[in-house]
């Protein structure tokens, strides 16, 4: 029986935000398109039903005017957002992709997509039998970011002290650090999150909206590793509290993302301390270390997640209609865990 064309809803980039994203304007939910799942021309490619896409703070960086100096291309107005996601193959004209294969890679924020580049996707066998959403969370970019950066840049030694802000990446880093015998100081933006980071082993956990980071670090530092997601004033506090030869892993500088001319970002003033304290500051994006550590990651992490050795919290938005709000939430920290968008109800 031939099915009628079905809705192929999308979440499209609508407007470059000034400051924080605006849930009603930055992206628009568009359900005007349909797709004939049986007959649509695949052109040698494969048709995928998108199950989950990831919502991450860094997407904000792609919501801007094109600039030749920036490294990732900006999103295009009128096109769907794109990010890591999990989909399932419905039809395929490419022998490398089989029906029912679950694939991980860059997917559009769209219910169905026709894809060509098999190399851009990894077929996930899920032998650990964990929820598919974990493959856009703890077993995806945030987990990989933590795992790669920790292995490549932290140079962690037992007994040292780490400072990190909690979040999907930070929570993973906390668990890696505790596993290796470090003292962990971790901050979070709500008491609920503070409870969670305590539960996964942080030795010192505090709500940065209620306590001063500088005071905590003065008391609990000096720190040997600062894993940065925040930049700005927090980076300044970490520079001040750094021990000699400390390593700074620069994973994000959220505080710099949503500045406006009226609300300029706090610029760290303690950078000169890198000299006298012999600090190392290294930035990275997850893709840089992918070739080096990807296979180790998939061999090790999903099974540790299945065993409950690595804990995580998810904040699931059901349906593409909620993308605009989720986008804002990951900027303000209103999300309660790793933000994922459940695009399709069926798995």
The residues of the shown chain that bind a copy of itself, judged by CB under 8 A, are 61, 69-72, 231, 235, 240, 244, 250-253, 256, 267-269, 271-285, 288
Backbone phi and psi for residue 217, each to the nearest 5 degrees, phi listed first = -70, -35
d(CA 283, CA 265): 19
Asked if 176 and 149 touch (Cβ cutoff 8 Å), the reply is no
d(CA 60, CA 327): 8
> Which structure tokens are listed for 292?
């080096």
Shortest distance in whole angstroms from residue 223 CB to a copy of itself: 14
Q: What is the DSSP letter of 80?
A: B
Taking CA atoms, 2 is separated from 38, 39, 62, 88, in Å, by 7, 9, 40, 20
Residue 192 CB coordination number (10 Å): 12
Shortest distance in whole angstroms from residue 279 CB to a copy of itself: 5
Omega before residue 314 within 30° of 0, cis? no
Give strand pairing partners of 216: none
Give strand pairing partners of 341: 53, 317
Shortest distance in whole angstroms from residue 104 CB to a copy of itself: 23
Residue partners of 26: CB distance under 8 A and separation at least 6: 13, 14, 15, 17, 63, 324, 327, 328
User: Judging by DSSP bridges, how do beta strands 6-7 and 46-54 pair with one another?
Assistant: unpaired
Shortest distance in whole angstroms from residue 235 CB to a copy of itself: 8
Shortest distance in whole angstroms from residue 153 CB to a copy of itself: 9
**Choice between 72 and 210, CB closer to a copy of itself:** 72
**Choice between 23 and 74, CB closer to a copy of itself:** 74
Shortest distance in whole angstroms from residue 219 CB to a copy of itself: 14
**Choice between 82 and 253, CB closer to a copy of itself:** 253
How distant is the alpha carbon of residue 300 from its chain centre?
Answer: 19
Shortest distance in whole angstroms from residue 157 CB to a copy of itself: 18
> Which structure tokens are listed for 245?
């030869």
Shortest distance in whole angstroms from residue 68 CB to a copy of itself: 11
Residue partners of 258: CB distance under 8 A and separation at least 6: 17, 19, 20, 60, 331
């Amino acid at each position: 029986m031939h099915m009628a064309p079905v809705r192929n809803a999308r979440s499209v980039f609508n407007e470059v935000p000034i400051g924080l994203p605006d849930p009603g304007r930055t992206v628009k939910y568009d359900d005007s398109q349909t797709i004939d799942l049986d007959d649509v021309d695949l052109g040698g490619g494969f048709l995928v039903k998108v199950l989950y896409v990831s919502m991450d703070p860094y997407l904000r960086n792609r919501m801007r005017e094109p600039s030749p100096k920036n490294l990732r291309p900006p999103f295009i107005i009128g096109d769907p957002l794109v990010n890591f996601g999990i989909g399932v193959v419905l039809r395929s004209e490419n022998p490398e992709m089989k029906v029912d294969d679950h694939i991980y890679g860059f997917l559009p924020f769209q219910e169905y997509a026709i894809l060509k580049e098999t190399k851009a996707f990894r077929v996930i066998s899920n032998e650990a039998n964990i929820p598919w959403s974990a493959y856009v969370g703890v077993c995806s970019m945030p987990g990989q970011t933590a795992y790669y950066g920790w292995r490549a840049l932290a140079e962690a030694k037992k007994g040292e002290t780490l400072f990190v802000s909690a979040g999907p990446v930070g929570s993973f880093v906390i668990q890696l650090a505790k596993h290796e015998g470090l003292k962990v100081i971790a901050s979070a933006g709500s008491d609920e999150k503070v409870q969670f980071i305590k539960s996964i082993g942080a030795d010192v956990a505090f709500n940065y909206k209620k306590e001063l980071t500088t005071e905590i670090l003065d008391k609990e530092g000096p720190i040997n590793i600062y894993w940065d997601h925040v930049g700005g004033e927090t980076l300044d506090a970490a520079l001040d509290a750094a021990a000699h030869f400390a390593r700074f892993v620069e994973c994000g500088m959220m505080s710099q993302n949503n500045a406006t001319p009226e609300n300029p970002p706090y610029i760290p003033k303690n950078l000169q301390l890198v000299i006298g304290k012999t600090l190392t500051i290294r930035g990275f994006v997850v893709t840089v270390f992918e070739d080096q550590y990807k296979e180790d990651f998939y061999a090790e992490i999903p099974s540790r997640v299945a065993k409950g050795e690595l804990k995580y919290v998810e904040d699931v938005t059901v349906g593409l209609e909620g993308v605009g709000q989720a986008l804002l939430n990951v900027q303000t920290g209103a999300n309660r865990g790793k933000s994922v968008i459940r695009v399709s109800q069926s798995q």
